Amino acid sequence: MKLISLLGNSQKLDGGAMFGNAPKAMWERWYECDDLNRIHLQCRCLLVQHEGKNILFETGVGAFFAPNMRERYGVQEPQHVLLASLAEHKIKPEDIDIIVMSHLHFDHAGGMLSSYSDDTPPKLVFSNAQVIVSEAAWQRAIMPHARDKASFIPELNKLLETSGRLHRVQGTRSELLGDEFRFHYSDGHTPGMLLTEITSDEGPVVFAADLIPGTAWVHVPLSMGYDRYPEILIDEKRRLLADLNARQGKLFFTHDPSIAMGTVHLGDKGKFGVVEKIETV
């Protein structure tokens, strides 16, 4: 099994929204912000090569936004960065066998769509990929609440539904993936978010998605302004961190500006953190 960290399109988002319950005097010590109060965030994806299959965990925000929307949401690059990252490893979009989505917010799922064009409707970029998402996350995407409706992409939902390649899971395993992969579920950020645990050669690795988007959010009390149920999220985070700490497990971070993965560690003062941080896998 081989794990490869891939960069997708990056974003600059409001630091106050990303650190919803922490004051700026605290969070600006962790991440620098620009004059618009925005911090730099990656949309990092994980490629797992296993038993002859290319398994992609998330696709980032991609380049599907029209220019005005790209500016609104702070997407930094006009081109589809994930496709270029895959090309560096000599992998074409049609070579991806499976895509595992934690949830379908646009900054995680937009990369499944082709780049914006004035006169061409979007299409699915990964033409052969089977797409895995939880049933609860799918239901949320097609029937969102008014609070998070803008986070979803109706065009993507329609394309996935008619593709014949959408797999909506409810249990902890998927036959497509096999026994080396199992799902944890989280509802705090959005209902039905899948956190996939990968049994790698170096121990368990959990794709942390938006439960723990980066190293700073390993601090248990932190939550984002985007989280639907912050208290539930904090409890979910504490349970996962305690479990991984006991098993010397690792977290893969999708939004951290520089760190791709780290090992969960419980410090002397009873606070969780990550050690053995690495920028690439």
The alpha helices in the chain, defined as continuous H runs, are 15-18, 24-27, 67-72, 81-88, 106-109, 135-142, 154-163, 230-246
pLDDT recorded at residue 214: 97
H/E segment holding residue 211: none
pLDDT at position 268 is 86
**Could you tell me the residue range of the domain that residue 131 belongs to?**
2-278
CA distance 47 to 3: 6
Helices (H) and strands (E) in the chain, counts: 8, 14
> How much is the average pLDDT of 254-265?
97
Query: Structurally, how many domains does the chain consist of?
Result: 1
Strand partners, 13: 39
Please list the residues that pair with 199 across neighbouring strands. 204
Structure tokens of 59?
Answer: 């696709």
CATH code: domain of residue 23: 3.60.15.10
Query: Which pTM does this prediction carry?
Result: 0.96
Q: What secondary structure letter does DSSP report for 265?
A: E
> How many Cα atoms within 13 Å fall on the side-chain side of residue 78?
5
CB of 71 closer than 8 Å to CB of 80? no
Q: CA 42 to CA 215: how far, in whole Å?
A: 12
Distance CA 154, CA 152 (A): 6
Residue range 200-246, pLDDT digits in tens: 988 999 999 999 999 999 999 999 999 999 999 999 999 999 999 99
Q: What's the pLDDT score for residue 281?
A: 60
Q: Give percent of the chain above pLDDT 70.
A: 100
pLDDT single digits (tens) 73-117: 999 999 999 999 999 999 999 999 999 999 999 999 999 999 999
Q: What is the pLDDT of residues 121-138, one digit of tens each?
A: 999 999 999 999 999 999
The pairing of beta strand 203-207 with beta strand 250-252: parallel
Contact 261, 204 (CB under 8 A): no
